[in-house]
Structure 1
């Protein structure tokens, strides 16, 4: 296998994870890390530590990963695109739609492989769920409900809970049920004294008619990452913290009570927890991006897809500001 020379921008908390995986996977050599704060945690290994993206590019890169804070994604991405370096940028792609559009244009116009780190698409529970839904195991899909809550992560300072956490649920929901968002209605709150929102509740309608809800916050003492998909045959529950997928089957219980025989509802049936392989999602993400750079057919989340997730996130924030339902098409520029 050809060995690709990789560069990493940013070695904060998430960047350190990227550095570890980039050093571990076959066919990739981490040759340089760019962070003005230096390598305080000693994660670069044998890679050269530099201050700027320009200095990183000068090392000669075949691919790059941007794990800097969201506000730096645009500048770093544009510099890498101008240098012709295929790049994966951590989610969210950018701080706003305009910046996301600039990144998409820069990489697509240069014909460069590009990706966004929406890592939940590599989670084994969600990958199995998507396949089962596509195979019709649930029948008609009625509703998707996600809960993503936990304590505030001190690593986040430049965006609120919508851009940092809710973008996970926005992206995975559209991907799992294979339908884009049509409209959103949201409420946010600021409870911790920070500049950005730390709580959001979203109700959405997908283009295929599925009803969706997202509950996301940085205010809970327990950490929870759940996706529940309900349909005509029961409900799937994906726990992405554990990588577990469970199916709650609709039961069929006859009743002799005449008054309720005509009631069309469901009852509790069998519960199945699936045994599925559980590779590390970040490793899967990097191996897929490596293969894409090498020209192989593989699954990556493109920057264009990441841009649409930013668009829906912006629609949620606009809905909360204006106290109304926002159609995602309102935010599409021409």
Structure 2
């Protein structure tokens, strides 16, 4: 796997994060696509990497592609990668619309190469440990989920693509989409979404999801915290108890069971909750490309997250719940 030529599209913050993760797993990138060949990112240091500003030349020089470009360019670059017949990992979201996402997925299916979308909570140890506990029946069937992601607002100027919601997707596509995907991963398909936003805030939204199996999810996402504050938490309640996590607490994951169960162990074994989720994600991507592992997330899962984020924006704008129609299952 380390002999593969890895190419990264984009030189921003996520490009830096992914470069560090690739290096950590022994597959340092050999090529970067930037806006100019004269703008070598400082984070590359003394890494031997070629800088390209021509997409086709870049694609010819690599075997796999990591798309870390601005959100509104994800689909455009993904279609080019599929046309070149290269497997790709793309930062979330897959796209800014379901139709655009379907086009990308179809292109990769026709090319017969793997597409992976970077929904990092599927690799974040506390979140994956909670899902394993749910799957093991520790709390019974999930009934109520409460998910929170409270952050400072990303730095952006008037000329920044991030300032334009038509390019960034706003808080629903950039921040809440993490928990939208996680809610569906835990409690199954969503049948309706109701959302409210606070227009005078730096960015604050609340969504309520109804799942096909009867569970209810409440999600709060905010960019109203002061720099550098970033806090996440979740509670997953079922018949037998509650799984909880808060980044404010020293205990990574707690399991509170009803008294008659008389059991306070999470049963998580020796799982390390200090693992780097980006490294785990890239490792899984390479193993899937090699055919030795199953993906933790399929392209259709990523498309469902796009659908939910779009529903959050629509509901917040109209004040009405949005019914979620099936867009198909499987990869």
Asked if Structure 1 and Structure 2 have the same fold, meaning a TM-score greater than 0.5 normalized by the shorter chain, the answer is: yes
SS at match of 2:271: coil
Q: CA deviation at 1:85?
A: 0.6
Matches of 1:95 and 1:138 in 2, distance apart?
A: 35
Residue 276 of structure 1 corresponds to 271
Please show how residues 7-86 of structure 1 align to structure 2 within 5 Å: 7-26=7-26, 28-36=27-35, 38-43=39-44, 45-59=47-61, 61-86=62-87
Please show how residues 111-130 of structure 1 align to structure 2 within 5 Å: 111-130=112-131
Residue 228 of structure 1 corresponds to 235
Matches of 1:114 and 1:3 in 2, distance apart?
A: 20
Larger CA Rg, structure 1 vs 2: 1
Q: CA deviation at 1:302?
A: 2.4
SS at match of 2:253: strand
Residue 159 of structure 2 corresponds to none
Matches of 1:318 and 1:64 in 2, distance apart?
A: 32
Matches of 2:246 and 2:68 in 1, distance apart?
A: 25
Query: Is 2:3 the counterpart of 1:3?
Result: yes
Please show how residues 1-334 of structure 1 align to structure 2 within 5 Å: 3-26=3-26, 28-36=27-35, 38-43=39-44, 45-59=47-61, 61-154=62-155, 156-157=162-163, 158-159=167-168, 160-177=170-187, 179-192=188-201, 198-221=203-226, 222-239=229-246, 244-251=252-259, 276-277=271-272, 278-329=274-325, 332=327
Calculate the aligned-residue CA RMSD, in Å: 2.5
| Structure 1: tracts of 5 or more residues without a match | 253-268
Total equivalences in the alignment: 311
Residue 264 of structure 1 corresponds to none
Matches of 1:192 and 1:213 in 2, distance apart?
A: 20
Matches of 1:12 and 1:185 in 2, distance apart?
A: 33
Q: CA deviation at 1:303?
A: 2.1
Q: C-alpha offsets along residues 300-320 of structure 1, whole Å, 9 cap, x if unaligned?
A: 422221111100111111111
Contact 2:139/2:257 (8 A) holds in 1: no
SS at match of 1:4: coil
Q: C-alpha offsets along residues 49-80 of structure 1, whole Å, 9 cap, x if unaligned?
A: 11132221121x22110011101111111111
Structure 2-normalised TM-score? 0.87
Matches of 2:2 and 2:264 in 1, distance apart?
A: 49
Q: CA deviation at 1:192?
A: 4.8
Change in CA separation of 1:24 and 1:243 when aligned onto 2, cut-off 3 Å: farther
Contact 1:123/1:243 (8 A) holds in 2: no
Q: CA deviation at 1:164?
A: 0.3
Which deviates further from its counterpart, 61-70 or 295-304?
295-304
Contact 2:87/2:115 (8 A) holds in 1: yes
